[in-house]
Amino acid sequence: MGEEILDQPAPKISILQRREIQSPLLACVLDGFIEELGYEKALQIASAAIQKDAALAGKMMAEKYGGNSTKELIRMVKEVWADSGALELTVLEETGQTLSFDVTHCQYAELYERLGIKEFGFCLSCNRDAALINGFNSSMHLLRTHTIMQGANSCDFRIVID
């Protein structure tokens, strides 16, 4: 009987569900680091680790999607980041050199608010975006001036290729 359970594929969970599972523990760890190191140093260390993980995830996504152009990136954004309605976005421009879109609704921000850890939301989620995009394609760079997580009405994703 135990072997039958092991033979079953793991259920697919969305990135939003993954964040919901991971975030309470990460917030607890961050609180501990903040007590020992101070707020700025703790978030600096967490950000660096999260960005390193995100860059690796970006590289793996490019492999999974069979390329690393803006075409594959927007497909990944829609299929992974926005899975199950986690994000509502409007694509403004998609060329071989640029990808611009606005996020107008973000369930990630709502999740951190609901969990009572909104102050860590940017570090745990938004902080990943630039590193993931650069890992996806090292010539891609995210230019972003505001996020819903930080109180704006939208997130402006402007991705350019050198």
Q: What is the pTM of this model?
A: 0.90
CB 106 within 8 A of CB 148: yes
User: Which pLDDT tens digit goes with each residue over 109-120?
Assistant: 999 999 999 999
- Rounded mean pLDDT of the chain? 94
Return the domain boundaries, the chain: 15-161
User: Which pLDDT tens digit goes with each residue over 62-83?
Assistant: 999 999 999 999 999 999 999 9
Q: Does position 39 have pLDDT exceeding 70, yes or no?
A: yes
Taking residues 13-21, report their average pLDDT. Answer: 94
DSSP 3-state of 86: coil
- pLDDT at residue 8, rounded to an integer: 66
On the 0-12 / 13-18 / 19+ scale of CB atoms within 10 A, 137 is: buried
- pLDDT at residue 12, rounded to an integer: 84
From CA 139, how far away is CA 93, in angstroms rounded? 18
Q: How many CB atoms lie within 10 A of CB 75?
A: 15
CB 122 within 8 A of CB 134: no
What class, spelled out in words, does domain 15-161 have in CATH?
A: alpha beta
